[in-house]
């Protein structure tokens, strides 16, 4: 028998430690929470993307009574896929706002979004940097694959 350990490295930054480009990513994700339509969960999630062509894109969660809405991350990625087909995603930022403030501990993408994002990452041909935005701290993960070990990509 053998055991394998899977690890994910998370670098924790304060906002002021971020590079200007990453500060912009964080601000756009926070701004995007205002576009959330979440009358059921009251959990407003915003997402921001920087594409390989320098374009910035925002997404926000969109709910409905059938509970068949879409998360902020896929809202942004599908926007990118629809409007800039074939252009890779360089970075993604994710922020969440509820009960009158941004969440203290950064929210992470759900499993469905991780699967979608890992396929965008595979198609981009390079890692997508992930920035999870909390009230006073930002988690940086070097790739989406690091958030989805043992990734299912062959079918
Ligand atoms: Zn999701």
pLDDT (mean) for 1-19:
96
Strand partners, 102: 97
Q: What pLDDT is attached to residue 152?
A: 82
* CA 54 – ligand 1 centroid, Å: 24
Q: What pLDDT is attached to residue 88?
A: 98
Buried b or exposed e, range 86-100, using 16+ CB within 10 angstroms: ebbbbbbbbbbbbee
Is 3 catalytic? The answer is: no
Please name each of the domains of the chain with its CATH number: 10-147 (3.40.140.10)
pLDDT at 7 over 80: yes
* CA 118 – ligand 1 centroid, Å: 12
What is the chain's mean pLDDT, rounded? Answer: 96
pLDDT at 13 over 80: yes
Query: For the residues of 61-76, what is the DSSP string, one character each?
Result: -B--TTS--B-HHHHH
* CA 132 – ligand 1 centroid, Å: 13
- For residue 15, the SS3 value is helix
Catalytic residue among 3, 21, 31, 73: 73
Query: For the residues of 91-142, what is the DSSP string, one character each?
Result: EEEEEEEETTEE-SSPP---HHHHHHHHHHHHHHTSPPEEEEE-SS-EEEES
pLDDT (mean) for 19-25:
98
Over the stretch 55-100, which tens digit does the pLDDT of each residue have?
999 999 999 999 999 999 999 999 999 999 999 999 999 999 999 9
Of the pLDDT bands very low, low, confident and very high (cuts 50, 70, 90), residue 155 is low
Which of 97, 91, 77 is CA-nearest to residue 33?
97
- For residue 23, the SS3 value is helix
What share of residues in the chain are helix, strand, coil (percent, to 5)? 30, 25, 45
* CA 114 – ligand 1 centroid, Å: 7
């Amino acid at each position: 028998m053998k055991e394998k350990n899977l690890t994910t490295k998370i670098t924790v930054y304060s906002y002021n430690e971020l590079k200007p480009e990453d500060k912009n990513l964080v601000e756009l994700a926070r701004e995007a929470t205002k576009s959330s339509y979440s009358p059921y969960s009251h959990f407003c999630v915003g997402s921001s993307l920087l594409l390989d062509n320098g374009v910035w894109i925002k997404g926000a969660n969109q709910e409905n009574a059938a509970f068949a809405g879409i998360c902020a991350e896929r809202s942004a990625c599908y926007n990118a896929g629809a409007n800039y087909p074939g252009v890779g995603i360089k970075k993604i930022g994710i922020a969440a706002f509820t009960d009158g403030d941004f969440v203290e501990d950064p929210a992470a993408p759900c499993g469905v979004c991780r699967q979608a994002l890992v396929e965008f990452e595979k198609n981009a041909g390079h890692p997508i940097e992930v920035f999870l935005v909390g009230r006073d701290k930002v988690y940086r993960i070097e790739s989406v694959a690091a958030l989805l070990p043992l990734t299912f990509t062959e079918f």
